[in-house]
Structure 1
Amino acid sequence: MPDHADLPGASRAGSGPGPQRADSRPGMLVALVLAVLGYQLNATMLGPALPDVIHRLHTTSGLVGLSQTLFFLFAALGQVTLARLSDYRGRKPMMLLCGVLLILGSLACALAPHIGVFLAGRAIQGISAAMFTLAFLTLDDTLTPKGFGRAAGIVTAVNGGFAGVDAVLGGQLADTVGFRGIFALSLLVAVAGTLAVLRAVPSAPPVATGRMDWRGAALLAVGLTGVMVGLAQGQTWGWLSPGTAGCVLAGLAALAAFGLAGRGRTDPLIDTGLLLSRRAWPLMATTTLTLAGAFGALTLTIPLFAQDPHAGYGMNATTSALLFSTPAQALGVIGAPVAGVLGPRIGWRRSVVIGSAGSLAAFAVAVPFMTWPWVLAVALAVLGLTYNGLGITALNSLAVVSSPTRQKGALPGLNGACFGIGASLGTALASALITAAGGRGAHGTALYTGAMWASLALLAAAMATTLAIKAAPRHTPGAQEAAEEAPAPAVHT
């Protein structure tokens, strides 16, 4: 059963009516695609150019790695803060702010005379990751459930990159004009996307009254920073070092304080009852575990294994990408719009379940047959449909439709941050297991099997939390207004 939580005519907390819902808004969709693409190019194109950054800025791999950590850390913080702030200030103003920040960050990176300016630019760029969550919220505000599903699939497909072509293009730009060419290209797209948002995205009144919970936002920012920095730097500092333990423990303490601080407030960053309900915590756990399992394997374990001449296939980077990355990304570009069509028909929760089950099944084949390159390639291609396509689209969409109207940006923002946490966790765990295996004297495939089995275990755990998710209630016309008058049954489910 479709589980869209808002229907045409739902009341808003602002001073005027919102835009009339429609099945499609082509101009707005193009604007949102451009806006999301401007951010995504900075996430996918830079990887092949990182050695060029080291060379041209006369810096170290550690500082360049820090730039990536800052990018994804501020992406998590931006999604949580700006998505919720858009409930009070409106979606369009926050999208325009993201566009301006992306432009400034791209300029800083393109013109950076040294690594310090580059680090600042990457942090500023990261905040604009909120554009993706804001795009989903805008689609939910302006389209019917059917139109929302189709458009959400298209935006997700763009957010996943262009079937690996963007990474190849990034490498070509790095080889010809240097890393600055990548930021020049992303700058042009960012300007075009910002202008398109200004022109084509309709303005709508805020959905919430009151004040932004800045204390909660600060505690959440400290918590996420501690956990993500600890995960990102644990391999360098040592997993049991005072620095790593201090970051993680301080982060967890801040997150606990965040949960306690929200109790009793009339306008918390996110309602504690919703956070603890089966509409929220299993969803965020599923997102974190899914990203940890799939991302760590796809971006670290499998590329290292495929290019290892002794333990793996001994492929070059291009062959490895074409065989194990590009097919999955291409099928993800196809699968995301299909998922957007299916979601409103069968329900977004059911879509998440199917995506999790398919990803687990694909990886259950990939792990025991990882020494068979073509079997591994086919399994990863299936993962492109279930994970890149169906899973990511459904997880983001379910977060949007599961939020109560006046806190619409809260759960999608937190769920967006879980993508970054899961990716950091998966990469850190895979790196630690591979390093530990080498330290124990493991040879051949044994160097990588531990990391692959860990990824499979994480996806199995994601399957378990997926089954615990409770779908958002389906409202009939007028029921949303009644639900908002009685927040306990609408939120604490």
Structure 2
Amino acid sequence: MRQLPTIHSRQRSPTVPTNQSIETASPSKLRDVEILHGGRAVAVVATLILGILAFQLNASMLTPALPAIGEEFGADGAGLGQVSSLLFLSGAVAGLVLGRWSDFFGRRRMAILILAIVIVGTLMCIVAPNLPVLLVGRVLQGAGSASFPLAYVTLSERMAPKVFGTTLGVITAVNGGVGGLDGYFGGLLAETWGFRSIFVVILIVAVIALIASVVVLPKDVRAASAGAMDWWGALILSIALISLTYFVSEGSNQGWFSPLPLLFLAVAVGAFVVFWKVEQRKTTPLIAVHHLKSRQVWPVVLTTTLTLASVFAVINFTVVLLSQNTDFGYGLDAATAALRYLLPPAIIGVLAAPFAGWFAAKFGWLKAVRIGMVLSIAAVATIALLPTEQGIVLACIALLGISYNGFLLTTANGLGVILSPPEAPSALPGINGAGFGIGVGLGIGIVAPFAGNGTIEGIQTALFISLGITILAFIASMFIKGRPGVKL
């Protein structure tokens, strides 16, 4: 992400001087911080990756151990569902609140605080005598999700523009897990030593990340934002986010027009209206209303949400059901289906994300996101038209590893950093991160009734719905606009 130093630094005025030429976008940087190079830059990136892994392993390694947890604690399906859902819900709120708080509290101090919370939560999970204690631990572990926006903003402030895109891609690649193998090793640990051994591994990673953060991360020079944290705005927006999340999850289970989902939707809308009113009166709001209305913010969040709602559902839900169906699908067992259709895009994404970041920084972020969109549309359309052709579907899934896991996820994170308001550099990355979780739940909730009805027609309908959402994401991306004087 290339930047115009005199415009996208911590200035308050959005106007462009008459003698200022238009340049390409770059990371936002505090004027008085040290830009890192060489071995020190590598050490900082490695430390940020460790912090992210402390959360990501919580998200991916535990899935194979859910049956063992249910057996030990006597939990039913609903209880087990909370083991994962509470982690992601807590993570969405933490990314929004803790990320923005780091603008006032400091990046290094926030990284240390996040990891300390994760360690406490992990210890609770290790010694948990029952499911409620385990769930409290999972909520605390969710704080680790704030490591993502924190890492993105730290890179934008501390890395040279020519390496920022590539390092952002490396961080994004970790978001997909360790090449898709972490879930496999989580299963091995659970089978050999029990599910608590997974938390022991996560604890070790978190402790190493904490020590590295104390030793390696550069000390905070000063706050990135003036004023004080908007805790009321954070609370109200968190209520809106939690309610919207439960609307999506309950709507997919009970029906979108059932009383409980509609109640959650009403609370979400009401909370957002209150948030809008409150933010207009704040001196240092969570994110100013005029930014929310701008083409630097809402199209980015909408593009991210719709992209996750479309492509994630194709790779991680519809194709999974298709590959395991014995009537009209491929008749594969769960392990083989995962190795054939989940592992390849994960590995390809790990390789493609750093290249996507380099490409975006060199040739333009909007060009990169639209290339990813067009390739994803082509891949999803082909799968929808030819769902029973295993070889073609596999090739398209591999293409999505490049276009979605590589280009789209990297550019979504990058645009969140570039276009966040200068006076609130962590605001848009936090809100954009919440869009990831909402998009995943929304996409699966919409296609599940069709993909799960046990017919090839249902599978195709689900795929065409996902295709339509991908096209809407592309349309939303066309509304993204750089700040005055900054070319994306």
Length-normalised TM-score, structure 2: 0.92
Kept in 2: contact 1:72–1:126 (CA 8 A): yes
Partner of 1:158: 174
Kept in 1: contact 2:9–2:31 (CA 8 A): no
Mapped to 2, the partners of 1:176 and 1:6 lie a distance apart of 54
Kept in 1: contact 2:349–2:402 (CA 8 A): yes
Identical counterparts, % of pairs: 35
Q: 2:92 aligns with which of 76, 81, 90?
A: 76
Partner of 2:446: 429
Write the deviation string for residues 209-237 of structure 1: whole angstroms up to 9, x where unpaired: 11111111111011001010121223434
Partner of 1:233: 250
Partner of 1:366: 383
Kept in 1: contact 2:37–2:160 (CA 8 A): yes
Mapped to 1, the partners of 2:193 and 2:443 lie a distance apart of 33
Partner of 2:430: 413
Partner of 1:50: 66
Report the Cα offset of residue 21 of structure 1. Answer: 1.3
Partner of 2:26: none
Partner of 2:223: 206
Q: 1:391 aligns with which of 383, 408, 415?
A: 408
Partner of 1:469: 480
Write the deviation string for residues 361-383 of structure 1: whole angstroms up to 9, x where unpaired: 11111111111111101101100
Partner of 1:276: 293
Q: 1:467 to 1:89 in 2, by over 3 A?
A: same
Mapped to 2, the partners of 1:402 and 1:393 lie a distance apart of 14
Instruction: Flag structure 1 segments of 5+ consecutive residues without an equivalent.
Output: 477-492
Secondary structure at the residue paired with 1:415?
A: helix
Report the Cα offset of residue 386 of structure 1. Answer: 0.8
Q: 2:392 aligns with which of 368, 371, 375?
A: 375
Kept in 2: contact 1:86–1:409 (CA 8 A): yes
Partner of 2:461: 450
Mapped to 2, the partners of 1:43 and 1:4 lie a distance apart of 33
Secondary structure at the residue paired with 1:208?
A: coil
Secondary structure at the residue paired with 2:225?
A: coil
The one-letter code matched in structure 1 to 2:443 is G
Partner of 1:488: none
Mapped to 2, the partners of 1:118 and 1:7 lie a distance apart of 49
Q: 1:237 to 1:10 in 2, by over 3 A?
A: closer
Q: Which of 345-354 and 268-277 deviates more?
A: 345-354
Partner of 2:240: 223
Mapped to 2, the partners of 1:385 and 1:175 lie a distance apart of 33
Kept in 2: contact 1:22–1:147 (CA 8 A): no
Partner of 1:28: 44
The one-letter code matched in structure 1 to 2:3 is H
Write the deviation string for residues 334-368 of structure 1: whole angstroms up to 9, x where unpaired: 00110121121112222212112221111111111
Q: 1:11 to 1:430 in 2, by over 3 A?
A: closer
Matches within 5 A, 1:238-249: 238-249=255-266
Q: 2:157 aligns with which of 141, 150, 155?
A: 141
Kept in 2: contact 1:5–1:401 (CA 8 A): no
Partner of 2:20: none
Q: Which of 76-85 and 249-258 deviates more?
A: 249-258
Kept in 1: contact 2:321–2:451 (CA 8 A): no
Report the Cα offset of residue 147 of structure 1. Answer: 2.0
Partner of 1:86: 102
Mapped to 1, the partners of 2:366 and 2:181 lie a distance apart of 31
Q: 1:348 to 1:430 in 2, by over 3 A?
A: same
The one-letter code matched in structure 1 to 2:186 is G
Q: 1:9 to 1:77 in 2, by over 3 A?
A: closer
Report the Cα offset of residue 5 of structure 1. Answer: 5.6
Partner of 2:23: none
Partner of 2:142: 126
Mapped to 2, the partners of 1:43 and 1:460 lie a distance apart of 29
Write the deviation string for residues 1-25 of structure 1: whole angstroms up to 9, x where unpaired: x653657995599xx9743113450
Matches within 5 A, 1:343-358: 343-358=360-375
Secondary structure at the residue paired with 1:382?
A: helix
Write the deviation string for residues 87-146 of structure 1: whole angstroms up to 9, x where unpaired: 111111111111111111211222221110111111111122010110011111111211
Kept in 1: contact 2:10–2:423 (CA 8 A): no
Q: 2:199 aligns with which of 172, 179, 183?
A: 183
Mapped to 1, the partners of 2:472 and 2:8 lie a distance apart of 39
Kept in 2: contact 1:289–1:422 (CA 8 A): yes
Kept in 1: contact 2:7–2:485 (CA 8 A): no
Kept in 1: contact 2:52–2:144 (CA 8 A): no
Q: 1:473 to 1:361 in 2, by over 3 A?
A: farther
Report the Cα offset of residue 423 of structure 1. Answer: 0.9
Kept in 2: contact 1:7–1:475 (CA 8 A): no
Kept in 2: contact 1:5–1:472 (CA 8 A): no
Kept in 2: contact 1:5–1:403 (CA 8 A): no
Partner of 1:99: 115
The one-letter code matched in structure 2 to 1:353 is R
Mapped to 1, the partners of 2:413 and 2:312 lie a distance apart of 16
Kept in 2: contact 1:150–1:341 (CA 8 A): yes
Report the Cα offset of residue 190 of structure 1. Answer: 0.9
Instruction: Give the alignment's Cα RMSD to 1 decimal.
Output: 2.1
Mapped to 2, the partners of 1:254 and 1:102 lie a distance apart of 28
The one-letter code matched in structure 1 to 2:90 is F
Mapped to 2, the partners of 1:286 and 1:466 lie a distance apart of 6
Instruction: Flag structure 2 segments of 5+ consecutive residues without an equivalent.
Output: 13-29
Mapped to 1, the partners of 2:449 and 2:122 lie a distance apart of 32
Q: 1:383 to 1:44 in 2, by over 3 A?
A: same
Q: 1:6 to 1:333 in 2, by over 3 A?
A: farther
Mapped to 2, the partners of 1:17 and 1:111 lie a distance apart of 46
Mapped to 1, the partners of 2:50 and 2:247 lie a distance apart of 33
Mapped to 2, the partners of 1:5 and 1:285 lie a distance apart of 25
Figure out how many residues of one structure are paired with residues of the other and give that number: 468
Secondary structure at the residue paired with 1:340?
A: helix
Mapped to 2, the partners of 1:194 and 1:111 lie a distance apart of 21
